[in-house]
Amino acid sequence: MVDKPSKQAYGLSAPSMHSLLNEFPLNQAESREVIDKILQSYKDMPGGLMVILNEIQSQIGYISQPIQEYVALVLNEPVSTITGVVSFYSFFTTKPRGDHTIKFCMGTACYVGGTPQLLQKAHQLLEIEPGETSPDNRITLEVCRCVGSCSQAPVVVVDEQLYGRLRPSKIPPLIRSIMKTYEGPQE
Ligand code: FES
């Protein structure tokens, strides 16, 4: 069990801290405990911000605006610093991801090679935009920068698996296969 963070120790204003602690997921004891433990462990480490954000992303699953503000307060940094880092790196998300993530590479080779058409097809099927998760929490669509496989453009990355030279007609079976995986072993 992690001690309740001391506003005095962090030099925080009580109203700021109080309102943040009422925001989800900071108002959930379990999440707060995880976040506080991470902050306590790394807040004094040089360059600890990236470690903190990485740990929060992997343990909580996302770094929402309230979490960013909380981290900023505890580290005594401007919120813009935290937001800048979170928005720069595509592996950070501000919302929970679905069980599976489909990333569409928007690097130049992939963009020219047809990523917008692939994305459009996925959008038609799932009715969600990049950055959104399907209502059943199965699939999150994202765009990303070059993943270093330009010779296979256009590239899509499903979880950790890379698919190259895709055409829009390949998107429906790809999504079906993801759904099948999600539903577990078939009879
Ligand atoms: S531009 Fe997509 S892999 Fe390089």
Whose alpha carbon is nearest atom 1 of ligand 1? 107
Query: In testing the pocket of ligand 1, which one of 103, 143, 146 has its CB within 8 Å of the most ligand atoms?
Result: 146
> Any idea how long the chain is?
187
Query: In testing the pocket of ligand 1, which one of 104, 143, 155 has its CB within 8 Å of the most ligand atoms?
Result: 155
pLDDT at residue 181, rounded to an integer? 67
pTM score, two decimals?
Answer: 0.69
DSSP states along the chain? -PPPPPHHHHT--HHHHHHHHTSTTTTSHHHHHHHHHHHHHHTTSTTHHHHHHHHHHHHHS---HHHHHHHHHHHT--HHHHHHHHHHSTT--SS---SEEEEEE-SHHHHHHTHHHHHHHHHHHH---TT-B-TTSSEEEEEES--S-GGG-S-EEETTEEE-S--GGGHHHHHHHHHHHHT-S--
Phi, psi of 70 (to 5 degrees): -65, -45
Q: How far is the CA of 110 from the centre of ligand 1 (A)?
A: 5
Q: Give, for all 187 residues of the chain, the pLDDT tens digit.
A: 444 554 444 445 555 788 888 888 999 999 999 999 999 999 999 989 999 999 999 999 899 999 999 999 999 999 999 999 999 987 898 988 899 999 999 999 999 999 999 999 999 999 999 988 999 989 999 999 999 999 999 999 999 899 999 999 999 999 999 888 655 444 3
Q: Where are the domains of the chain?
A: 14-88, 100-180
CB atoms near residue 145 (< 10 Å): 13
Ligand 1 atom nearest 107 alpha carbon: 1
Query: In testing the pocket of ligand 1, which one of 104, 110, 144 has its CB within 8 Å of the most ligand atoms?
Result: 110
pLDDT at residue 179, rounded to an integer? 84
Residue 139, beta-bridge partner list:
100
pLDDT at residue 11, rounded to an integer? 46
Ligand 1 atom nearest 149 alpha carbon: 3
Q: How far is the CA of 113 from the centre of ligand 1 (A)?
A: 9
Q: Are strands 100-105 and 139-144 parallel, antiparallel or unpaired?
A: parallel
Ligand 1 atom nearest 154 alpha carbon: 2
Question: Domain 100-180: what homologous superfamily?
Answer: Glutaredoxin (3.40.30.10)
Within 6 A (CB) of ligand 1 lie: 105, 107-110, 146-150, 153, 155
Give the residue among 109, 100, 123 at the shortest CA–CA distance from 182: 100
